[in-house]
Structure 1
């Protein structure tokens, strides 16, 4: 067989990666430990790695300059990829899964809701919701499931700040989104080779969850149509104003709402779960958080201006997101041939930027596994694309400022009033789904503490 010069060049410039004989090990990691799959190969083969599993080849990108190329400089060549494609079955063509002109139109419609001035005006709403949370936690006698509480909080905040709606009555939302994540990742790792009609427990739960999410989205739209908001600044009002009552427009609104409900609560809830775990593991951090909260806030609720004063708390949140970025994987599909780091990447290839490994790159992070909020406390910041908790480029997370404000308020107010301790024997492990969450929940005991101004001295 004759090999063309182009084929020979492509072969010569293919990135390094694990050999074919490692397929069984790679498949096992893909199913059971996706973080190790990414981390082990980045450590073994460098900043561009070709991981071939069966008929698929995945290109791992693990350097700030190369992440910038994929996510920003040549972003038009990279559409949404593995995991998000599978999630489209539940999320439809929402902002998280859409591409091209559809995505641009959706982004323009929703963007004004996230303008800094509007988000700053929501600080009192966020603080009030967090205050209710702290009171609920303080009233617990026995262990409390922290991740459940964080999900309830973040959904409540999302409803009131972005939708001008009350989501407290939709208690199935958290479970439904968990089923969506489970099914999307299952389809991704099985290459969608398991027919959707097969009555596996996971697939049955997914179908039920999808119908539940569609029902809730439709109810929210109907409620807003029946009770319009005067200023019309919220997401629901903007979606309705941008479309019509036609079926195609209603389907688009449903897709956007389901996507917003998932992305708007899951990432912040996951971050807070990891924050409480890490603060419990490092009591000295909890004491510094407590001292700062007492000094800055005293007995009052925080306002938006306090984000500039709660500097250590912000650093803790940033370091939590470095170690456990809620969006741990940024998957793309190359639309045309490209060159990344001197290596050939064919059109149609799955290309993944992995914040989880990038945030541990030894060239940019010393003693990377150590939890150290001091990394973000000084004037020197890490390179822009070495730290991607909210992604980068045109698809930079639209809700980042609201998420950070919410996480800072929760951490400051909880540290001021409470000590949270993990239940003895609880093993905390990451579970890499669409978000990076704590596997199996996070039960903790709650212990009130006094607000002594002298503690801040």
Structure 2
């Protein structure tokens, strides 16, 4: 069902008396809530959830209006606002002048030239992952690949952005997971539970935040002045924090920014790679073609540069299709600063507005057979009249993901190296379920067996 978007309309949705049921659903089945709303009410709906009313828009023209055309009228919304209690004021949650200053500090690390220089780092980390997976295969045991991919993506970010080896810090991945769990708890409870309440989840979060603060402090202490101050993120954050009159504020700023940058950067790419391995096992003919391309382009060994991406055309199509079905950022929440009209639907000032890439990428008006996995959709030689804003895996507008180029290159190169060297298969009988956290991850992880390709 596609809404008419050119005239004023009454926005549909569940009755107000459903607010408690909707609050429970948001806690237990967020993807189901969004999918059901799109199916029942079309491209615009009003969802009562607890003491809030959420305005959900699911048409490319709506998305363009909220994220780009009138993006200045929208700030971060439900979820990210509540995640601030867990994440602090990092780039993901900050607003206004602070956000602009943080973006200016971080941006040079993601310039095209510097991103291209990280191809060798990515390939080295991927080769190490292959070696670890082969060790597990020789031991005759399956591998929890989500954990392995998290280790890889943290390794890439540590070397690429901080010139640091994060493997020196045991438990850092678990601490990031605890912070993410707390951020989603804040969303599900709308931040109504004080952080001092001694729930097991909140105790884990407090320990994790203290651990991550100690990691950041050690990185700052060990940081030398020999890095490139124009490109090295840690150097730029230290210099920026030094401008704060209160050293404690500067210390917290560095922590918030690094925790946010590393959490968002490693989690989204690890999730995309997990879903890619799942889909390659589900579609062996896709793996065969991908394996042949990777073998041809990368060869058996040797250095890998960003130029390899030009030859990994089918691999890129596979990653794009994986991100269509399982977008790493599954929800883009906004809050209206002033009143607006979105596609003919009135939105009051202060309203919580939702854009959901997960449902948008499965919209039957813009995607043929939308539930089917088909990398050929993204063949650059295939003509399409699909609207630009029907596909937003990295968001859009001024908040477009700063690390999109690095994340995309990492996903393509790691997938190609894994497909060249290994064949990974899921444990028979295992059901794979999506879990919508800050990213769209595989619930409970993904256990796979490992064979040489």
Q: TM-score, normalised by structure 2?
A: 0.93
Q: Does 1:274 align with 2:278?
A: no
Q: What is the match of residue 88 of structure 2? A: 92
Q: Does 1:413 align with 2:410?
A: no
Q: Does 1:155 align with 2:146?
A: no
Asked whether the 8 Å contact 2:122–2:414 carries over to 1, the reply is no
Q: Does 1:327 align with 2:329?
A: yes
Q: What's the CA shift for 1:25?
A: 4.1
Distance (Å, rounded) in 2 between the aligned partners of 1:354 and 1:21: 24
Query: Structure 1: where are the runs of 5+ without partners?
Result: 1-11, 450-457
Q: Does 1:424 align with 2:428?
A: yes
Q: Does 1:20 align with 2:16?
A: yes
Distance (Å, rounded) in 1 between the aligned partners of 2:255 and 2:95: 17
Q: What's the CA shift for 1:249?
A: 2.2
Asked whether the 8 Å contact 1:64–1:386 carries over to 2, the reply is yes
Q: What is the match of residue 309 of structure 1? A: 311
User: Which of residues 339, 342, 345 is equivalent to 1:343?
Assistant: 345
Asked whether the 8 Å contact 2:20–2:50 carries over to 1, the reply is no
Q: What is the match of residue 441 of structure 1? A: 445
What secondary structure, in the 3-state scheme, does the structure 1 residue paired with 2:341 have? strand
Q: What is the match of residue 203 of structure 1? A: 202
Asked whether the 8 Å contact 2:74–2:336 carries over to 1, the reply is yes
What secondary structure, in the 3-state scheme, does the structure 1 residue paired with 2:167 have? coil
What secondary structure, in the 3-state scheme, does the structure 2 residue paired with 1:304 have? coil
Q: What is the match of residue 395 of structure 2? A: 391
Q: What is the match of residue 231 of structure 1? A: 228
Asked whether the 8 Å contact 2:87–2:183 carries over to 1, the reply is no
Distance (Å, rounded) in 1 between the aligned partners of 2:179 and 2:238: 26
Q: What is the match of residue 5 of structure 2? A: none
Deviating above 6 A after TM superposition, structure 1's stretches of 4 or more consecutive aligned residues are none
Q: What is the match of residue 455 of structure 1? A: none
The one-character-per-residue Cα deviations of 1:307-326 (angstroms, maximum 9, x if unpaired) are 11100000000000000001
Distance (Å, rounded) in 2 between the aligned partners of 1:143 and 1:362: 38
Query: Structure 2: where are the runs of 5+ without partners?
Result: 1-7
Distance (Å, rounded) in 1 between the aligned partners of 2:307 and 2:103: 27
Distance (Å, rounded) in 2 between the aligned partners of 1:126 and 1:356: 28
The one-character-per-residue Cα deviations of 1:172-228 (angstroms, maximum 9, x if unpaired) are 22211221222222221222222322211111111111111222122211211xx22
Distance (Å, rounded) in 1 between the aligned partners of 2:210 and 2:389: 38
Asked whether the 8 Å contact 1:14–1:345 carries over to 2, the reply is no
Q: What's the CA shift for 1:143?
A: 0.3
Distance (Å, rounded) in 2 between the aligned partners of 1:106 and 1:370: 39
Q: TM-score, normalised by structure 1?
A: 0.92
**What RMSD, in angstroms, separates the aligned Cα atoms of the two structures?**
1.5
Distance (Å, rounded) in 2 between the aligned partners of 1:401 and 1:191: 33
Q: What's the CA shift for 1:282?
A: 0.5
Q: What is the match of residue 65 of structure 2? A: 69
The one-character-per-residue Cα deviations of 1:226-276 (angstroms, maximum 9, x if unpaired) are x22242221001112334173322221221111111111000000000000
Asked whether the 8 Å contact 1:113–1:234 carries over to 2, the reply is yes
Q: Does 1:250 align with 2:254?
A: no
Q: What's the CA shift for 1:21?
A: 4.4
The one-character-per-residue Cα deviations of 1:424-448 (angstroms, maximum 9, x if unpaired) are 2211000011111000010100011
Q: What is the match of residue 240 of structure 1? A: 238
Q: What's the CA shift for 1:394?
A: 0.2
User: Which of residues 28, 31, 45 is equivalent to 1:32?
Assistant: 28
Once structures 1 and 2 are overlaid, which stretch shifts more, 243-252 or 325-334?
243-252
Distance (Å, rounded) in 1 between the aligned partners of 2:441 and 2:270: 9
Indicate how the Cα distance of structure 1 residues 66 and 179 shifts in structure 2: closer, same or farther if over 3 A, else same.
Answer: same
What secondary structure, in the 3-state scheme, does the structure 2 residue paired with 1:139 have? helix
Once structures 1 and 2 are overlaid, which stretch shifts more, 205-214 or 152-161?
205-214
Indicate how the Cα distance of structure 1 residues 14 and 216 shifts in structure 2: closer, same or farther if over 3 A, else same.
Answer: farther
Asked whether the 8 Å contact 2:83–2:187 carries over to 1, the reply is no
Alignment of 1:374-389 (within 5 A): 374-379=376-381, 380=383, 382-389=386-393
Distance (Å, rounded) in 1 between the aligned partners of 2:174 and 2:437: 14
Q: What's the CA shift for 1:29?
A: 2.0
Indicate how the Cα distance of structure 1 residues 241 and 48 shifts in structure 2: closer, same or farther if over 3 A, else same.
Answer: same
